[in-house]
Structure 1
């Protein structure tokens, strides 16, 4: 520390690209000539020159970061794998996907990927063809794709019928090489391409995790190939995996 009590401030650690998952700081002192230490502390001079310290709020390891009580409470108590998709903004197609695994009572960050969501952003009232991804907590129970099973733990249905139409732009042709169904308006236990929509066609459906083509989707969440392979080999039905997804504001609400 420099003489005359110059304060050393902590640097906020930015995690997951644009999404702030946690803050940490190095301790510092203000107003005294001695050195100070203590994580997350900020110095305040007292009436006699003493330095009092106040700690920054601790991150609760029993909660998924940056998810408010409403959605936090919808995560099943027996779920031990959560894929959190943090949307950059209400009308943004950019997001970050973070896989958390529960160890004891604490959630531990396992992997992070850049991702995309609906090209028009997010909605709490999804309808067919609105080009927005639905905000919420959804189970992940079935997988499939054009490519052979890479060692998925979820039930995997391989079929050429998943092939994206070749009248789409070429960048989209491999979107469905690997898919994991997001259990929104569908019947769990069926292949991802099962067309049954219990809530009716107007509420949309066929919303998947799938391969990324570098931009927004119709309503799905897309990840790089290595991310999809990792999830297929890691998401375990015995761990009751779910996805918690939405824009940052709605996730915290």
Structure 2
């Protein structure tokens, strides 16, 4: 009689692999706190720790985590430059970067998103918000605090950053432009569907095509494309 025959017939338990997290934070006490929190949470696991941007890039290439929790201000290579290296590296194609920032770093937030970050989290966030943010980014979503993100980008773009022509925007259909505009305004898929009288599935299809045409990693990059392409202005971004 095989082991299977002796079993009670229940299917073997095959838990999903944990979300693998790389911590990039130069302050050891904060980094240790993040590690304790993440490792104590079911479904999450720390696979590496970096104290500089250079270390973050090296460890991202070595471990290929699902999410890099990246501080902006670190000695040597900062978090923005490190994010750019990670997001541009084909070996790190599946790695997503979640930036840690504060309200007074508007320019850093914008630069981080342009560098390829999937979103950002304010350092005033609670432990529950941090854990939720990691899961959301790992799942492929972005813009973890849409209202704040929109506010920061809007205020920064009212400065010295005029609209630019984004490569690939000429290939976007009129309907896709409408969807991209609403993504840039911070609307969810359900809100876009209601606004354009489409199904949520159709909106997801349009967003998938936009990601491919604009060579965007995720929704965060579509927001940047909407602003830089002139589809959304600073005033449009306000709600």
Pick the TM interval, shorter chain. Answer: under 0.3
> Normalising to structure 2: TM-score of the pair?
0.23
Q: Which has the higher contact order (CA 8 A, sep 6+)?
A: 1
TM-score w.r.t. length of structure 1:
0.22
Structure index of larger Rg: 1
